[in-house]
């Protein structure tokens, strides 16, 4: 039995697979999302709209960290209370736990932003009021429109 053709086939196949792996073939997949419990690098910003956005993103991180989901999953579920409940249930959380996590997350993010001087006292007060008092559905509406509402 001639083994040269077999060796050639093995070498050619292995060379191609090796080249593709070296070019990043095994890592060509969707980018991983960041852990919401790990602080993100700070982004310098001047515009007030962007500052509010940073507060809301930080609130999303805080809430997602508490619920054990990614920030992105949380944001995608912000469309309605029902979708948020589905997300919470998938992580074995109740609606009350979800609501607490959302309100606490927003309050912590507002406190940190105020401490850093990112937002002023009146904006912080308005956001804290929303976090503590607004019904969940209204709070979500406020969060979705917060940038324009507070800009």
What's the min distance (Å) between Cβ of 132 and other proteins? 23
Verify binding: residue 86, other proteins, rule CB under 8 A: no
Give the interface segment with other proteins, choosing from 44-52, 101-109, 115-123, 124-132 (CB under 8 A).
44-52
Give the interface segment with other proteins, choosing from 64-72, 99-107, 108-116, 126-134 (CB under 8 A).
64-72
CA distance 86 to 99: 13
Verify binding: residue 25, other proteins, rule CB under 8 A: yes
| Structure tokens, 96 | 């009350």
CA distance 143 to 78: 9
Q: Which residue's CB is nearer to other proteins, number 23 or number 37?
A: 23
Do residues 57 and 71 make contact, with C-beta atoms less than 8 angstroms apart?
yes
Among 35, 37, 72, 90, binds other proteins (CB under 8 A): 72
CA distance 47 to 76: 25
Q: Phi and psi of 91, rounded to 5°?
A: -100, 10
- Give the CA distances from residue 50 to residues 54, 130, 148, in Å, rounded to whole numbers and listed in that order: 6, 19, 11
Interface residues with other proteins (CB under 8 A)?
1-3, 5-6, 8-10, 12-14, 16-17, 20-21, 23-26, 28-34, 49-50, 52-53, 57, 60, 70-73, 75-76, 78-79, 144, 147-148
């Amino acid at each position: 039995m001639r083994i040269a053709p077999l060796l050639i086939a093995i070498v050619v196949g292995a060379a191609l697979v090796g080249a593709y792996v070296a070019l990043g073939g095994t890592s060509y997949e969707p980018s991983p999302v960041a852990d919401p419990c790990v602080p993100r690098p700070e982004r310098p910003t001047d515009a007030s709209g962007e500052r509010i956005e940073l507060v809301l993103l930080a609130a999303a991180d805080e809430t997602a960290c508490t619920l054990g989901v990614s920030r992105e999953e949380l944001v995608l579920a912000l469309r309605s209370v029902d979708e948020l409940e589905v997300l919470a249930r998938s992580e074995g959380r109740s609606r009350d736990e979800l609501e607490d996590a959302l309100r606490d997350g927003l309050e912590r993010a507002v406190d940190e932003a105020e401490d850093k001087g990112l937002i002023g006292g009146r904006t912080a007060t308005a956001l804290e009021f929303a976090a503590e008092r607004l019904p969940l559905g209204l709070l979500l509406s406020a969060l979705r429109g917060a940038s324009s509402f507070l800009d």
